[in-house]
Structure 1
Amino acid sequence: MAGIDEREVLVKKEKNRLKKLFNNIPTSKLKVVDGLIIQAARLRVLLNEMWIDISENGDYELFSQSDKAEPYERERPVARLYNTRDQSYQRIIRQLTDLLPDEKDKEEVKQYTASDLI
């Protein structure tokens, strides 16, 4: 896992990337946008770290309540948390996308693909 300084560098880099993607949002909505972009950047960095953990260690683990109980497979807490944070990230991205001007209000429309946002 990244240290706090390294994580802050990654968050700043992601924040700048998102600001470029959502630079067409009207200035009247920028105060809302800045908070959403910061939160999305933080979530993205955490999701990337969690993805590495899940990739290396899997979604499930053997778990037992005691020495005498048979172990069973259960979802790892990091996998559950990843899914929750991913949903939060997707909601924020949706909010940002909804703040973009309608196509009819823009002179030129930039089409984003899913890979631009991920």
Structure 2
Amino acid sequence: MELSAEQRKERDKLVAKEEKRLLAVYEELPNDKLKVAQGLIKQAARNRVMLNYMWEDIQENGEYDLFQQSQNVPAYERERPVARLYNTRDQSYQRAIKQLTDLLPKEAKPVETDEPVDDYV
């Protein structure tokens, strides 16, 4: 599907907004890692915007449609290409977010034990 100039402008605006949001989320990245992460942030933003468009399409038109090879063969349900692409793009988005999160500085996390906690008031 070819997008109009107005649709491309709107999509680019949404990508820029998502990119800004992700930059805020990962602002704690050290500068050397942030330079590396910028490409991942841009790609994650693109994926997130496209996932939203695809999700709307799937909600409106469903994951499956009827397909018929010829008039002599009964129609059957098959997965719509957008549903398959949604799953692939979602995996790509999740990988990018994991890579970004892995770049964050390690914070001291409390060690979880099975011991009862007595520091409540």
Q: Aligning the two structures, in what range does the TM-score lie when normalised by the shorter sequence? A: 0.7 to 0.9
Give the drift of 1:31: 1.8
* Alpha-carbon distance between aligned partners in 2 of 1:66 and 1:31, rounded to the nearest angstrom: 54
RMSD: 1.2
Using the size of structure 1 for normalisation, the TM-score is 0.85
Following TM superposition, the consecutive aligned residue runs of length 4 or more in structure 1 with deviations greater than 4 angstroms are none
Tell me what 2:76 maps to.
72
Mark the runs of 5 or more structure 2 residues left unpaired by the alignment: 109-121
Give the drift of 1:83: 0.2
Given the alignment, which residue of 93, 101, 105 partners 2:97?
A: 93
User: Is structure 2 residue 39 aligned with structure 1 residue 35?
Assistant: yes
Task: Output the amino acid matched with 2:69.
Answer: Q
* Alpha-carbon distance between aligned partners in 1 of 2:65 and 2:88, rounded to the nearest angstrom: 19
Which structure carries more helix by proportion? 1
Tell me what 2:86 maps to.
82
Task: Output the amino acid matched with 1:83.
Answer: N
Give the drift of 1:28: 1.0
* Alpha-carbon distance between aligned partners in 2 of 1:66 and 1:26, rounded to the nearest angstrom: 59
Mark the runs of 5 or more structure 1 residues left unpaired by the alignment: 105-118
Deviation string, structure 1 residues 51-91 (Cα, Å, up to 9, x no partner): 00000011111101112210001111000000000000000
Task: Output the amino acid matched with 2:44.
Answer: A
Task: Output the amino acid matched with 2:60.
Answer: E
Between the two proteins, what is the percent identity of the paired residues?
Answer: 62
Q: How does 1:44-55 map to 2 (within 5 A)?
A: 44-55=48-59
Using the size of structure 2 for normalisation, the TM-score is 0.83
Task: Output the amino acid matched with 1:75.
Answer: E
SS at match of 1:62: strand
Give the drift of 1:15: 0.2
Greater Rg over alpha carbons, structure: 2
